[in-house]
Structure formats: structure tokens, C-alpha cells
Amino acid sequence: MLIKLPCIKLLCASLFLLASHTSFADNDSITQALRHEVRTEENKARDSARKPEQVLTFFEVTPQSTVVEVWPGSGWYTEILAPLLEKEGKLYAAHFSDEFSLLDAEYMQKARSEYQEKLESHPVYDNVILTEFAPLADIAIAPPASADVVLSVRNQLYVFEGEKSMNHALANFYQALKPGGVLGVVAPRLPDDSLDTDWEKSGYVPEQLWLTLAEKTGFSFEGKNDLLLNPKDTADHPQGIWSLPPSLMGDEKDKEKYLSIGEANRMVLKFRKPSN
């Protein structure tokens, strides 16, 4: 039976409202997670610099997602993701591994130990699954083809063995994602006019490097978001990105200078594992 035009319009309008309602519901869920009691005031203070609601929305994270958080560190994003995914989703936290040979093992063990203490500190973390990640080790960050989203936020992969470690990491991320899944990358961006500088250990990498290596791995590039670009950051600091907040590893006399610059200039890149 043919449907009259007004009915078609009504159906389309209803579907649009349903899609909009779902989107708003997801945004509301992220907003509620940002207000969760588990979040520290110190971490909340960085929301304006890191814009987690916009970042997670751009990367298509919903309360029903299975997410892998790569190198959660002290748990800044975990404090948001755990409440968001607690009821209907799943969170894998791929923390530092003993397989590292190029960094301070004592520092990494301490960071992981403190993170484990965080997971034991509140029931909201009960369902977080702790796994491991090292860019040059064959360790599964999650079961194959299990994740809707893999998040790599503020990780410096290039400082290990350059493109080799990035390629290995991207292959690991690709394996963990479901077909159609999203890889979300937030990383310090090297300005295009600084490619010939000594940036290899600075923490900054060119945007094109991520695009090239991700495509080589099999990802398709979906787009980028400029919400975390910081034009004040010249990317030429003595301690690289660690001169800037929150690390502030430079001389005490330069502290105010780096505080005025703010967090590093970051690219926000979205890649997708093909559906077939």
C-alpha cells in the first residue's frame, strides 16, 4: 500500500526527532559522567583545556560503547569513562606493561600501582578491565574485534622507536576494534613549519605522520577537530611538551611563562576500521 506524502513527512520527522533525542541523551550521559563524585577537583579543573565532552562525542563514545583507553596514566579520562560506561558499556584500561625496556621501569610500575589503587577506591570502577600496552610488544589491549572505540589520548608513541613503534601500536589498535570501529587520537601536533627541527624526542609529531601510518595500517581517515589547537604553543620548549602544564618540568623561573601558554597544541584525529 502506498503511503501518502504527508505520512512520509511525518515518519521522517519522527525518525529525525528520535535520532536527535538519542544524540542528546548520549551528550547528557557524558555531562552526568563529568559531574560524577569520583572525579577529583584537580581533574575537573582541566576540563576547559581538554574539552572531554566534545572529544568523546566526536569519537562516538556512548554509554553502550566498548572502549579501550590506551595508557590511562593516573586515570584522568577513566574518571569520566568508568561512570559513563558503568551500566551498559565496557571499559578496557590498557596500562603500562613490564615489557617496556626503553623507559624508567620504576616510574611505570609506580604509575600502574597507583592506578590499580584508584580502581579499588570506588565501586564505579568495579567493571573496568585492566590490560596492558607496550608499543613494541605483542600484548592484546582487548579481545580481537571487541571494541567500538580505541582512545589514544596524549600518548607519545614516536619517542620509543619512531615509526616502528607507531606502526606496531596502530596494528594493535586495529586488531582490537570491531569492523566499523573508531580510533580516536589526541596527540601534540608539530607545526608544519617545524618539520626540520629536532622534534623526535619532544613529544610532538606531524599530523601527516599519523595520517600516513594509519592509512598504511588499513584505517580510513574520517576527519579532524580543531577544538584543542593552541596557537600559543610554539613546540620548541627545552623539555618538549613536558615543559607545559600539567607537567611543568622546566625551571621554576619559567613556570608562569608555560602556565600562560597552557596545554600543548593538540590534534584530534578520527579514524575508522573498515566495515568489510
All 3 cell numbers of residue 145? 574485534
What amino acid is encoded at 124 in this protein? V
The phi and psi torsions of 72 (rounded to 5 degrees) equal -70, -10
- What mean pLDDT is reported for the chain? 89
| Cα 97 from Cα 74, distance rounded (Å) | 15
**What does 90-114 look like in DSSP terms, one character per residue?**
EEEEEEE-TT--SS-HHHHHHHHHH
For 31-67, how does the pLDDT look when each residue is reduced to its tens digit (9 = 90+)? Answer: 999 999 999 999 999 999 999 999 999 999 999 999 9
- Per the CB < 8 A criterion, the answer to whether 100 and 63 are in contact is no
- pLDDT score recorded for residue 129: 98
Q: Could you give the C-alpha distances from 255 to 242, 245, 246, in angstroms and in order?
A: 12, 9, 11
Taking residue 228's Cβ as centre, other Cβ atoms within 10 Å add up to 21
Question: Which residues make Cβ contacts (< 8 Å) with residue 136, sequence separation at least 6?
Answer: 99, 160, 161, 164, 165, 168
Q: Which residues of the chain have pLDDT under 70?
A: 1-26, 100-104
- Using DSSP, state whether 51 is helix, strand or coil: coil
Burial of 120-133, coded b for 16+ CB within 10 Å and e otherwise, reads eeeebbeebeebbb
**Among candidates 29, 121, 27, which has minimal Cα distance to 74?**
121
**What does 142-160 look like in DSSP terms, one character per residue?**
SSTT-EEEEEEES---HHH
